């Protein structure tokens, strides 16, 4: 089975990205019966950051370095950059011709993002139609499955509707209707208890030094009702406990939960153990990243883009034949 998935190059990856996306990608990559295409969605990034003058070339390479550091392997998966495969744009244009505006305007994610992206003017054709670009991204490679979060479900439904409409209009059957692989929503919140996000300055990055991780964990909010070590705490309402549950061993989790509930340990001891667990998790990623320079990452991305181009070219020939050579 074929898997296609992309990620926008908008900055360093943090633990939330790892648990929400990369972990699932690694599972899929490890499966013997699947071939995965992972792409840097630099054109998608423009749909919300076109005014920000980001250096998308550098950010794309940094993203590839993050993926490689986490274990995404170019021997097993095709790693490429969307804008290096111009067929995505060609198919996007053709699909835009047949996609009714109402499907895009009714998209709940579109409405929600328009309401929430404060200070950004995203009333653009590119933002309204980016689900069509997503459709092109996956059907170009005959994806069987697309790993997505819950919020992306309406987009994949638009992809399937676009496929059906294309087949109906051109009396063909050339695309697959991709199914979803739902990634569990990452429960990992930022250090201040809000969603882990670069814009809230509350993230722990996969490139973080031990020292930086320790300093950050020290600032993490805890059970606000627990003021002194002698107060019994409640791990169920404590952010640090959620970090332990993701990164610590069962023994450590049992130790800190018992220590918290029965007022046997202080929050600083608990945070120190939390730091050790997170640092242990990040250390190999950090070490591997130090061995990957920009040149290596660029070569891998160019090689992957060349493979993606070859496949996309063949598919695009079929698509153009279907549209323009109607008998």
Residues that bind ligand SF4 (CB under 6 A): 222-223, 226, 233, 235, 238, 240-241, 256, 260, 265, 267, 270-271
Alpha-carbon separation of residue 34 from 4, 77, 312 (angstroms):
10, 9, 18
Report d(CA 282, CA 159) in Å as an integer: 36
DSSP state for residue 171 in the 8-state scheme: T
Cβ-based nearer residue to ligand SF4, 180 or 279: 279
Structure tokens at 90: 């060609």
**From the CB of 274, what's the least distance to ligand SF4, in Å?**
7
**From the CB of 299, what's the least distance to ligand SF4, in Å?**
44
Cβ-based nearer residue to ligand SF4, 72 or 238: 238
**From the CB of 256, what's the least distance to ligand SF4, in Å?**
5
**From the CB of 235, what's the least distance to ligand SF4, in Å?**
4
Q: Find, among 105, 98, 136, the residue nearest to 123 by Cα.
A: 105
Cβ-based nearer residue to ligand SF4, 42 or 223: 223
DSSP state for residue 56 in the 8-state scheme: H
Cβ-based nearer residue to ligand SF4, 138 or 260: 260
DSSP state for residue 7 in the 8-state scheme: E
Q: State the CB neighbour count (10 A cutoff) for residue 29.
A: 17
Report d(CA 233, CA 262) in Å as an integer: 7
**From the CB of 269, what's the least distance to ligand SF4, in Å?**
8
Cβ-based nearer residue to ligand SF4, 194 or 236: 236
């Amino acid at each position: 089975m074929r898997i296609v998935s992309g990620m926008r190059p908008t900055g360093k990856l943090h633990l939330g990205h790892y648990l929400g996306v990369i972990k699932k990608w690694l599972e899929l990559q490890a499966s013997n019966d699947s071939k995965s295409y992972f792409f840097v969605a630099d054109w998608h990034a423009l749909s919300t950051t076109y005014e920000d003058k980001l250096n998308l070339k550098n950010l794309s390479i940094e993203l590839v370095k993050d993926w490689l550091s986490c274990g995404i392997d170019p021997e097993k998966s095709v790693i490429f950059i969307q804008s290096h495969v111009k067929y995505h744009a060609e198919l996007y244009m053709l699909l835009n011709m047949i996609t009714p505006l109402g499907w895009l305007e009714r998209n709940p994610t579109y409405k929600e993002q328009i309401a929430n992206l404060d200070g950004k003017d995203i009333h653009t054709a590119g933002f309204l139609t980016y689900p069509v670009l997503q459709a092109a991204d996956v059907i170009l490679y005959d994806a069987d499955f697309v790993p997505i979060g819950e919020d992306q479900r309406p987009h994949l439904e638009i992809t399937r509707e676009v496929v059906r409409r294309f087949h109906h209009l051109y009396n063909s059957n050339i695309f697959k209707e991709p199914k979803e692989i739902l990634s569990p929503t990452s429960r990992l919140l930022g250090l201040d208890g809000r969603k882990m996000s670069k814009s809230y300055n509350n993230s722990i990055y996969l490139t973080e030094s031990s020292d930086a991780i320790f300093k950050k964990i020290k600032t993490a909010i805890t059970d606000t009702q627990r003021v002194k070590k002698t107060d019994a705490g409640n791990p169920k309402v404590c952010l640090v406990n959620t970090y332990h549950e993701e990164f610590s061993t069962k023994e450590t989790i049992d130790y800190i939960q018992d220590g918290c509930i029965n007022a046997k340990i202080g929050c600083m001891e608990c945070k120190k153990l939390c730091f050790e667990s997170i640092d242990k998790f990040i250390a190999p990623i950090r070490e591997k990243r130090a061995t990957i320079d920009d040149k290596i990452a660029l070569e891998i991305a160019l090689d992957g883009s060349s493979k993606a181009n070859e496949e996309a070219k063949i598919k695009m020939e079929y698509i153009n034949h279907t549209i323009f050579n109607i008998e």
